[in-house]
């Protein structure tokens, strides 16, 4: 991290949100942006000349509500949604069949104690953090939903969650940003905490940047370094802006 702190202005910075910038909550809607985080992110965004983006499994609209009133450059739904720094936004087209799949999945999940249904618009997730024993049942339901949705959609596992979403890749999202101003020509650094972030780590490693895995659990990762918690990420952001 010393290199990042010593030459902050030279970097392009990418953050996952849940489990990286903010602490994971018991329910998807329970997450909270800590006091001063938005101010510190805005300071960091200015320092790096605007070359800061959020790369998240959340939808853009949800993230905008979290960080209101500011709107960051963002790749939402793992890159299926996209907004550049100038505000230009791309979203997947409406899919009536997928809407039917979401309704069916909600019906299947509703009687399962501790299983949470999250409608992300162009994606959908079942969370079982409050019912770990439901993991196999959730996996079976999501397999059925994916078969109904078709080949344009894929399953993504995460921390006590399985998501059905348009096929997209966080690593490709980072690479796309790095081809555009103000990111182009900078050294990338990416922060993430989950298996969904491994493609980002790989993409940034290939570009000669720095990849940072958040969390101290033992696991295989392509990240080149670690920080223990979102709190440590927030402390690093503050240190980079003083």
Token pair 């006590």 is at which residue? 160
Rounded Cα distance between 5 and 21, Å, is 17
CA distances from 103 to 43, 91, 122, 148, 214 (A): 42, 21, 13, 12, 34
CA 153, 155, 157 angle in degrees (round to 5)? Answer: 155
- Which of 99, 90, 223 lies closest to 164, judged by CA? 99
Q: 3-class DSSP state for residue 186?
A: coil
Contacts of 47 (CB under 8 A, 6+ apart): 8, 9, 240, 241
Rounded Cα distance between 3 and 214, Å, is 18
- Among this protein's residues, is 16 annotated catalytic? yes
User: Out of 16, 18, 169, 197, which one is annotated catalytic?
Assistant: 16
Token pair 């990111």 is at which residue? 183
Q: 3-class DSSP state for residue 2?
A: helix
Instruction: Tell the burial category of 136 from Cβ atoms under 10 Å away from its Cβ (0-12, 13-18, 19+).
Output: exposed
User: Looking at the annotation, which residues are catalytic?
Assistant: 16
């Amino acid at each position: 991290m010393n290199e990042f702190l010593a030459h902050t202005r030279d970097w392009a910075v990418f953050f996952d949100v849940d489990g990286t910038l903010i602490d994971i909550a018991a329910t998807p809607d329970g997450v909270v942006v800590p006091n001063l985080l938005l101010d510190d992110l805005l300071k960091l965004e200015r320092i790096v000349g605007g070359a800061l983006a959020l790369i998240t499994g959340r939808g853009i609209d949800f993230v905008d509500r979290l960080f209101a009133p500011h709107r960051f450059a963002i790749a939402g739904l793992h890159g299926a949604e996209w907004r550049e720094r100038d505000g230009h936004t791309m979203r997947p087209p409406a899919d009536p069949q997928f809407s039917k799949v979401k309704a069916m999945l909600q019906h299947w999940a509703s009687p399962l104690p501790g299983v949470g249904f999250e409608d992300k618009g162009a994606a959908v997730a079942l969370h079982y953090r409050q019912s770990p024993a439901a993991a196999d049942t959730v996996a079976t339901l999501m397999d059925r939903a994916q078969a109904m949705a078709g080949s344009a959609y894929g399953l993504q596992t995460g921390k006590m969650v399985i998501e059905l979403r348009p096929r997209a890749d966080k690593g490709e999202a980072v690479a796309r940003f790095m081809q555009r101003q103000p990111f182009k020509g900078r050294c990338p650094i990416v922060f993430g905490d989950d298996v969904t972030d491994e493609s980002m780590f790989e993409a940034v490693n290939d570009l000669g940047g720095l990849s940072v895995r958040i969390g101290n659990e033992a696991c295989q990762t392509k990240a080149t370094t670690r920080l223990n918690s979102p709190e440590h990420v927030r402390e690093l952001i503050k240190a980079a802006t003083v």
